[in-house]
Amino acid sequence: GASATVSFERGDTTGGDPTPVPQMAGFSSRGPALANSSDVIKPDITAPGVSVLAAVAPPSGQGRSYDLYSGTSMSSPHVAGLAAFMLGEKPEWTPMQAKSAMMTTAYDVKDADGNADTDPFGQGAGHVDPTKFFDPGLVVTSDAEDWRGFLQGQGLDLGVEPLAASDLNGPSIAQGQVTSSTTITRTFTALEAGSWSISADVPGFAVTHKSSFEMKEAGANEVVDFTFKRTDAPLGEFATGFVTLTEATSGKQVRMPVALRPVSVSAPETVRGEGASGSVEVPITAGFTGDLDIETAGLAAAETALGTVPTGESVEYTIKVGEGTKLARFDLDSANDQADMDLYVYRINAAGTALEALVGQSATGAADESVDLVNPRAASYYVVVDGYAAAPGESAMDYRLDVFRVDGTSDAGNLTATPNPVPVVENVDTSYTASWSDVDPGTRYLGWFEYDGALTPTYLYVN
């Protein structure tokens, strides 16, 4: 009634073992990121994001003015607010300096048993620590020119020299395809004078680097090369660890996560060619010395559907995939690159009466989407083209859907790799020639080249 009272008691009153915190939420998205060939670790960092007391809008919050919310919508404002807090205290810092300070002073989250959970694809650099990020001593930063080079390297033509994603100077180190060994450089900028020692630990790799360096004043730079050579890290699996720098007098530490995936062969995921007959050079780097055998499959002609879908609606197709199919690829190409389309692929049950499973989806903020099914089960598939949002000023989206089935019967164009096998030398760049002939110039084709022990095959598009 009106005289009821309530009190809050500090601490865990359940009487059992306290829950280890912080932990990564089960719903939190994990890396590695497929973009950039996994040469950038994502996520960057984590912050409180579960059951956070937050102001909400009453019309959409069931009449409430506050509620307990979870998700990126909670974690991201923590990071943004903390960055604003940092820049309020350090107005001379750039956003990338703030990011570096936040990441390099983070600490590990815990697993359900209370042990340190050091997975960089869950926590990034770790959980943000506001008690340390104002005074890291060093930063690992980049400027607008670096980012323009990075974007150029990702295929956006800005008229500048491209910069490889793994070479972008940031507070983490990653390379998605390492053949035997790799050297990655980071430049450290001093916020104060100091003497720093370096240690690195990545199980499965031997790491070499300079042991220490001296920063005589704020603003000084030190370039450090880190060479990672595979010892016993399993092929095709990420090996993770940390690079840690420690200042001799203050004991301050700057820590960067590392993620490296060793492969037998590093090769491009996609190459493109044009014409009824032609060829294209395919660059490769092997992690051994000897002969590299290449298996070819295709070319497979596209089954093409042209259509229009209004915003908020979808168009569906049923596609049959037969036995022995090595790859079924579904490519959705919007006529207007300012639109946002999504693509979903479901497997239909044997009776043909219901959807059995969602087997692939591509639902980014981009106009074009693609789904690959490698060695798919022979079945009928339900393909949904979703018109999420049309381009500004338009209410519908024109699109092209290409379906490729690479199997034992898809042998158009006499696809060959020359030479095959390819003589390779460990960690030395080389190439082979992919060639085809006498295909229909009005049809799109897809083939692939497969290498033993490689992370992925190389896909060849021919228009």
DSSP letter string, 425-451: -TT-EEEEEEEE-S--TTS-EEEEEEE
Q: Which residues contact 419 (CB under 8 A, 6 or more apart)?
A: 432
pLDDT at 181: 94
pLDDT at 410: 80
pLDDT at 382: 97
Beta strands in 263-313 (DSSP E): 265-266, 270-273, 278-286, 290-292, 294-301, 303-310
pLDDT at 364: 84
pLDDT at 15: 79
8-state DSSP, 104:
H
- 206's enclosing H/E stretch is strand 205-208
CA 8 distance to own-chain centroid: 43
CA 252 distance to own-chain centroid: 30
pLDDT at 227: 98
Give Dmax over CA atoms of the chain in angstroms: 89
pLDDT at 37: 84
User: Consecutive 10-residue runs of the chain (463 residues): their mean pLDDT?
Assistant: 90 81 92 88 95 90 92 92 95 96 98 95 97 96 96 89 96 95 97 98 98 97 97 93 98 97 91 94 93 92 96 96 92 95 96 94 90 93 96 96 88 93 94 95 91 86 91
Judge if pTM exceeds 0.75: yes
What is the Cα–Cα distance from 281 to 417, expressed in whole angstroms? 10
pLDDT at 17: 81
Strand order in the sheet with 445-451: 270-273, 458-462, 445-451, 294-301
Phi, psi (deg, nearest 5) at residue 271: -130, 155
Query: ∠380-383-385 over CA atoms, to 5°?
Result: 170
pLDDT at 269: 87
What is the Cα–Cα distance from 223 to 86, expressed in whole angstroms? 26
pLDDT at 33: 86
CB contact at 8 A, 347 and 272: no
Q: Are strands 278-286 and 205-208 parallel, antiparallel or unpaired?
A: unpaired
